[in-house]
Structure 1
Amino acid sequence: MDPYNIYICGVGGQGIIKTSIVIGEAAMKSDLGVVMSEIHGMSQRGGVVSTELKIGDSRSPIIEDSTADLLIAFEPIEALRAISKASKDTYVVVNTSSIMPFNIQGSEIPYPEVSAVLEELESKVKHVFAMDAEKMAKKSGHVLSLNMVMLGGATAISGFPIEKDVILKSMKANLPEKSIPINRKAFEDGFEFVLSK
């Protein structure tokens, strides 16, 4: 199978690495090859975090520019920072809840309007699914389930290479048991949001 390239980005503390692990283990459970790379950056200080996954036949986890099939952005500005990985046909699932990057806090550089960020994304790719994952996570029962909202949305994308039930099994294997009901609701809410678009 030709590799299916997933680039995930956001800010430290949003659950990006855990999301990548869930996807990676689900790929292995599906007998699909998977390679993964991660950049922690300054994650302990709210800095940039990104992971790259290739599902299928690949030896290198690095996603070349314009070759991502799916971009999952947990933070709007990080979606723009990663847009070089996307082509016009890339699917983008983006959280509209912004987090002020540490490097512009207290500076004169304003955080752009999220609507302007989304306009820029839509000018570069055809398929943008923007959702307030933070609000959806809180509604599900806990803000820390934001990553499962995003994972649910990604799983609903046309062409996503792993079956939903395998992703759910991988979630159960990788998340604390007591958190499963909240995370399952968060996942389903994200899944239904993208499916309805």
Structure 2
Amino acid sequence: MKYDIILCGVGGQGVLSVAAIIARAAMMSGLEVRQSEVHGMAQRGGAVQADLRISDGPIPGDLIAKGRADMILSMEPLESLRYVDFLSERGSVVTSDHCEINIPDYPEKQAIFSSISSFGRALTIPADALALTAGSARSANMVLVGAASFHLPIEFSTMEEAVRERFASKGELVVETNLKALSLGRDVAEAGSRRRSG
């Protein structure tokens, strides 16, 4: 088994936190993990991207080849389109529906979402709205992790454990908010899967 994920977004959206939580959950599950360095602008608004590779056996390198990614997990919809050449034929796209308009010639939103929906296994999540439901706008990235978890070869309870561990130092309220965001994202992904199969 192997599962390759391209994580992307813009600075300030927590791409590194997302990668760390998924990697930790995979390690808790006894899986091998390789991650590329995060590439891009560290400051708020600059593009950020990382490769995360999970396997039950040795992983030969950190980088994902074109056409081999099982998932693009994007905190920002336009960023997901930058990496579609890396997506495998059966790969999934999970992205937020919130556009971070950080460049003067940012494309028309509907064109972005039309392009994303052309992929058979694409899910656009109202991550910001669900994060507010969970109790904090800052938990939008955990909503996306929850949605992605539906496809990952990791038990959801292990994902919850990794989230709890990650935020433990910030207090129980922050932990519970992020766990709720994770669960809300998972619920949306499960509902979307039922609609597609029904």
TM-score, with structure 2 as normaliser: 0.89
Partner of 2:27: 28
Deviation by residue 1:144-176 (Cα, 9 ceiling, x = unmatched): 10111000000112xx21110111111111113
Deviation by residue 1:27-60 (Cα, 9 ceiling, x = unmatched): 1111111101132411214101112111013121
Q: How does 1:8-157 map to 2 (within 5 A)?
A: 8-56=7-55, 57=57, 58-101=59-102, 104=103, 107=104, 109=105, 111-123=106-118, 125-157=119-151
CA distance in 1, matches of 2:37, 2:137: 23
CA distance in 2, matches of 1:54, 1:74: 18
Match of 2:116, as an amino acid? L
Q: Which runs of 5+ in 2 are unaligned?
A: 193-198
Pairwise CA distance, 1:139 = 1.8
Q: For 1:183, which of 178, 185, 192 is the aligned residue? A: 178
Q: Which secondary structure state, in structure 1, belongs to the residue aligned with residue 17 of structure 2?
A: helix
Partner of 2:163: 171
Alpha-carbon RMSD across the aligned residues, in angstroms, is 1.3
Pairwise CA distance, 1:138 = 1.5
> Runs in 1 of length 4+ with deviation above 3 angstroms?
none
TM-score, with structure 1 as normaliser: 0.90
Q: Which runs of 5+ in 1 are unaligned?
A: none
Q: How many residues align?
A: 187
Identity, in percent, stands at 33
